[in-house]
Structure 1
């Protein structure tokens, strides 16, 4: 699987389907078949050098919080190119675990979608360019953590043919807000994706069986 896309122009509008399908491809190739999905396990399996740093480590090194926020322009996290690879910096001080999981998936999205190949730093882009890439990374993160084909799978096995936001939250360890967004997509005309549903079902057959029994 090609992890980075180089020598391309920043799209004028977000590539929603592309970002979501890249998340599924990443999950199939580098996931371990366990739910909730471990972002760090996927990062470990990727053929790319990705390191971590945390806000708490930066503070211990003498850098102030205002300097961190000024450098990375985010209270959640950021990703930068470093030492022939990438470094994901994230806020481990005052963010809940579900938010940290989303931040890690979001920053991984920037890497997999090739966003840092444009400039090496996302902060020098125009406001519109930045918003486009942020939207794509959000789409990637959402699909990586709560893959729509797996939700379709659960729905098909449910006698009631219904799933609630709190169930999605519990199964995939995401925030209730994120789970509610999934429900909105379920109810929309577009619906949710069946992209590579069969491959995902095979990879996650064991936890899916347990979920069928739990929500039957």
Structure 2
């Protein structure tokens, strides 16, 4: 009994890192309203600049310092400016979609909104940034369109790459959509310098707690070994439960499988976890 009390206390604590369901549903509903309005049925129809212009928002690229994008609102018109030195097309598209999220949902909150790279990966902090990110994810990879094209999605880096290539988004954004689209119990985890910065859980009704922010990578995790210079495994590998869930040491009712990859030349690691229950 004591173990299960600890489990549910941890679950309650970890879930504080998850966006409230009301915020998530609002963001998805807002993105889906646009998808339905423009009758989007394939990735090539997600033309962000055209959608923005029809919403009376003009998208421009230019030099920016200390921020990736911003939205300037004046009445019923706006300007989205995106940093032109962002190297990946997928990241630029996410920045535009993120600012469109602010435009559609946060009219009464701010007239000038600056968004940094950290804001564009914020799924556990500011409610406004979380909502804008969920909106962007749904707009760029509409659930119904993705499931029609991809079918059943199993958790893996290869599947995330397929989503990234199909919908022209970053691998990180694709991993997040992967765990949301998959019917398996899985998570996307982003760590930097050996410390977890954020995670996103799939399988909406999963009982599994999340991972504490600033969790230090366990030396037996694939992520830690890659950070130390080892080549990534080509597929999911079994890791000890406590590698990612310290409370689950010696628990036998589920197993944890991991696949990790280093992003560029940086100390950032993207991880997909697949939790398989007995």
- What TM-score results when the alignment is normalised by the length of structure 1? 0.61
Q: Indicate the RMSD between aligned Cα atoms, in angstroms.
A: 2.5
Q: TM-score, normalised by structure 2?
A: 0.49
Computing the radius of gyration from Cα coordinates, the structure with the larger value is 2
Provide closer, same or farther for how the CA distance between residues 91 and 31 of structure 1 changes in structure 2, counting only shifts above 3 A.
Answer: farther
Compared CA separation, residues 30 and 19, structure 1 to 2 (3 A) = same
**Counterpart in the other structure of 2:107:** 116
Could you say if the C-alpha distance between residues 170 and 54 of structure 1 is closer, same or farther in structure 2, counting changes exceeding 3 Å? closer
**Match of 2:131?**
136
**Do the aligned residues in 1 keep the contact of 2:71 with 2:80 (CA within 8 Å)?**
yes
Equivalent residue number for residue 59 of structure 2 = 52
CA distance in 1, matches of 2:146, 2:86: 30
Name the residue aligned to 2:85: 93
Q: Offset at 1:31?
A: 5.1
CA positional deviation for 1:149: 1.8
Give aligned pairs, total: 152
With over 3 angstroms needed to count, the CA separation of the structure-2 counterparts of 1:81 and 1:162, relative to structure 1, is closer
- Which structure shows the bigger proportion of residues in strand conformation? 2
Q: CA deviation at 1:53?
A: 3.2
Select the structure with the greater relative contact order (CA < 8 A; seq sep ≥ 6): 1
- Name which of 32, 46, 53 aligns with 1:24: 32
Counterpart in the other structure of 2:168? 173
Does the 8 Å CA contact 1:22/1:140 hold for their aligned counterparts? Answer: yes
2-structure distance, mates of 1:80, 1:177? 27
Q: Which residue of 1 aligns with 2:204?
A: 190
Provide Cα deviations, 1:74-103, integer angstroms capped at 9, x if missing partner.
2x1010113751111110123311111000
